[in-house]
């Protein structure tokens, strides 16, 4: 087992200790002062954003949220990534209780803070980090209920992310398969970066303790089962599951089996580093007619099937910083000059597949140029969009089974959405 945390400190922006909890007795409050001194020493350094530091036998791991530093000190060879993730979970739990994590909320609720820290970590090892479960037995005014004589079952059984006894009049499951397309195109029109980041986001409103099984068109699974691959099968990469998924079973037969938390959660995230054809291609031609006028011609072309359409399309076109008084004409949608961004923003509500639309703009420049003209800024074209009922990777939900001992029928709803992530095209 990886080394444990020695102590957890909550510090204000000046490095003063607001709250700290000693878990193993091998560090003192002086470690907080040493940590903050080291933080100041590295300020301005190229490594000043490093969340892990080592000094004199103690490893310091920290995150900053608002005006608070959350820091773990450990004298052991610990799993730094795990403890940093734990600090982010602490932030989420405190925000669940206090709406916002800041110095004032800690001072007003220090008793509850200590209770939470004792439940979330034991002898330096992370324990319970689900805010909804913690709120069942650590009460504040917002969660004041009758005092229970025993902790909820979620704390004592293996399903710590779900409480027993949940009941809904209408049992429903909503699954959103959302993919973000990241593309970078250079000034020669070549794709220099292309990948897809996907997530299976679920919202569950189910009674009891339901067992769920999810099947995807995963090539490895279909081949292992001896099934004929009809249509497109995908090779999943860089998969990350929610803690509710039975990893041993997935590694054994690629079955995604789990008892879901109540409410919203990310069941699975994945990445596909595959060459993706730009879904919306943008070309911009800029011509200077004189020192005082610039003409821009932009062509935007959708490169997906006719039956699909993109919504909320936003194309951000960089313009000279001293441009003013634009005259803009578009074949579809509307465009507005955004001087705070030094850009022209072209918005199209519905952009159907295999269509091309144009924008023409004339900008005026100051007739008198500065003696020492600054180099022209070469910001890229940025594109935002969403395409409903469309998925780039071809991932499909083959089945979604729900098994519960009471035998009720649930209604699963599945939706597919593709959107732009970091989608940039450098000017031609």
- The confidence score (pLDDT) of residue 325 equals 75
pTM: 0.64
Tell whether 270 and 184 lie within a shared domain. yes
Give the residue from 111, 130, 156 where a domain finishes.
156
- The confidence score (pLDDT) of residue 222 equals 53
Tell whether 49 and 118 lie within a shared domain. yes
User: How many of the other CB atoms lie within 10 Å of CB of 362?
Assistant: 15
pLDDT tens track, the chain, 428 positions: 456 899 999 998 888 888 899 988 888 888 888 888 888 777 655 555 688 888 888 899 999 988 899 999 998 888 888 899 999 999 989 888 888 888 888 888 888 888 888 888 888 888 888 887 787 777 765 333 343 444 554 554 557 778 778 888 889 999 999 999 999 998 888 888 898 999 999 999 999 889 888 888 766 555 555 554 455 556 667 888 888 898 888 877 778 899 999 889 999 998 887 788 899 999 998 888 777 788 899 999 999 998 999 999 999 999 888 787 788 999 999 999 888 888 899 999 999 999 999 999 998 887 655 545 555 557 899 999 999 999 988 888 888 888 888 878 887 899 999 999 999 998 75
Tell whether 52 and 88 lie within a shared domain. yes
Tell whether 248 and 331 lie within a shared domain. no
Mind giving me the DSSP string for 110-157? Answer: HHHHHHHHHHHEETTEE----HHHHTTTS--GGG--PPPSS--HHHHS
Give the residue from 129, 156, 183 where a domain finishes.
156
Burial of 210 (0-12, 13-18, 19+ CB in 10 A): buried
Tell whether 405 and 257 lie within a shared domain. yes
In a domain, 298, yes or no: yes
- The confidence score (pLDDT) of residue 321 equals 81
In a domain, 2, yes or no: no
Tell whether 404 and 260 lie within a shared domain. yes
- Provide the CATH number for the domain around residue 136: 3.30.450.60
Q: Name the 3-class secondary structure at 375.
A: coil
SS (H, E, C) 126-138: ECCCCHHHHCCCC
Q: Which residues of 156-183 are buried (b: 16+ CB within 10 A; e: fewer)?
A: eeebbbbbeeeeeeebebebbbbbbbbb
- Provide the CATH number for the domain around residue 226: 2.60.40.1170
Tell whether 337 and 380 lie within a shared domain. yes
In a domain, 163, yes or no: no
Tell whether 403 and 361 lie within a shared domain. no
- The confidence score (pLDDT) of residue 377 equals 57
Tell whether 150 and 64 lie within a shared domain. yes
In a domain, 228, yes or no: yes
In a domain, 167, yes or no: no
The boundaries of the domain holding residue 359 are: 280-388
In a domain, 1, yes or no: no
Number of domains in the chain: 3
Burial of 352 (0-12, 13-18, 19+ CB in 10 A): middle
| Cα 35 from Cα 116, distance rounded (Å) | 24
- The confidence score (pLDDT) of residue 128 equals 82
In a domain, 307, yes or no: yes
Q: Name the 3-class secondary structure at 15.
A: coil
Tell whether 105 and 27 lie within a shared domain. yes
In a domain, 245, yes or no: yes
Query: Could you tell me which of 263, 262, 267 has the C-alpha nearest to residue 243?
Result: 267
Tell whether 39 and 113 lie within a shared domain. yes
Tell whether 345 and 402 lie within a shared domain. no
């Amino acid at each position: 087992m990886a080394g444990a945390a020695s102590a957890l400190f909550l510090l204000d922006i000046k490095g003063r200790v607001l709250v700290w909890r000693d878990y193993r007795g091998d560090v003192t409050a002086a470690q907080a002062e040493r940590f903050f001194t080291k933080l100041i020493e590295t300020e301005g350094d190229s490594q000043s954003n490093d969340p892990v530091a080592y000094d004199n036998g103690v490893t310091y791991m920290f995150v900053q949220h608002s005006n608070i530093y959350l820091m773990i000190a450990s004298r052991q060879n610990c799993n730094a990534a795990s403890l940093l993730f734990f600090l982010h979970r602490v932030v989420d739990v405190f925000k669940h209780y206090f709406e916002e994590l800041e110095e004032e909320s800690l001072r007003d609720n220090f008793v509850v803070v200590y209770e939470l820290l004792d439940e979330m970590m034991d002898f330096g090892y992370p324990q319970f980090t689900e805010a909804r479960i913690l709120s069942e037995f650590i009460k504040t005014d917002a969660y004041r209920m009758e005092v229970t004589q025993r902790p909820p079952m979620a704390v004592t059984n293996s399903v710590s992310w779900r409480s027993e006894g949940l009941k809904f009049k209408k049992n429903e499951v909503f699954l959103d398969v959302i993919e973000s397309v990241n593309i970078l195109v250079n000034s020669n029109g070549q794709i220099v970066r292309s990948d897809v980041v996907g997530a299976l986001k679920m919202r569950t409103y189910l009674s009891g303790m339901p067992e769920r099984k999810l099947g995807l068109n995963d090539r490895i699974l279909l081949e292992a089962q001896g099934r004929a691959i009809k249509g497109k099968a995908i090779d999943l990469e860089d998969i990350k599951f929610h803690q509710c998924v039975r990893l041993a079973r997935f590694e054994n037969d690629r079955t995604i089996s789990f008892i879901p938390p109540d409410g919203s959660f990310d069941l699975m995230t994945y990445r596909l580093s595959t060459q993706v054809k730009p879904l919306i291609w943008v070309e911009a031609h800029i011509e200077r007619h004189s020192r005082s006028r610039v003409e821009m011609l932009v062509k935007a072309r959708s490169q997906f099937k006719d039956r699909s359409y993109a919504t909320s399309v936003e194309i951000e076109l960089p313009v000279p910083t001293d441009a003013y008084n634009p005259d803009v004409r578009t074949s579809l949608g509307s465009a507005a000059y955004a001087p705070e961004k030094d850009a022209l923003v072209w918005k199209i509500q519905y952009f159907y597949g295999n269509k091309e639309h144009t924008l023409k703009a004339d900008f005026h420049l100051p007739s008198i140029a500065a003696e020492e003209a600054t180099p022209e800024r070469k910001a890229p074209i940025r594109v935002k969009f969403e395409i409903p009922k469309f998925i780039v990777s071809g991932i499909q939900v083959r089945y979604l089974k729900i098994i519960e001992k009471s035998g009720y029928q649930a209604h699963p709803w599945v939706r597919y959405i593709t959107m732009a992530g970091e989608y940039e095209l450098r000017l031609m």
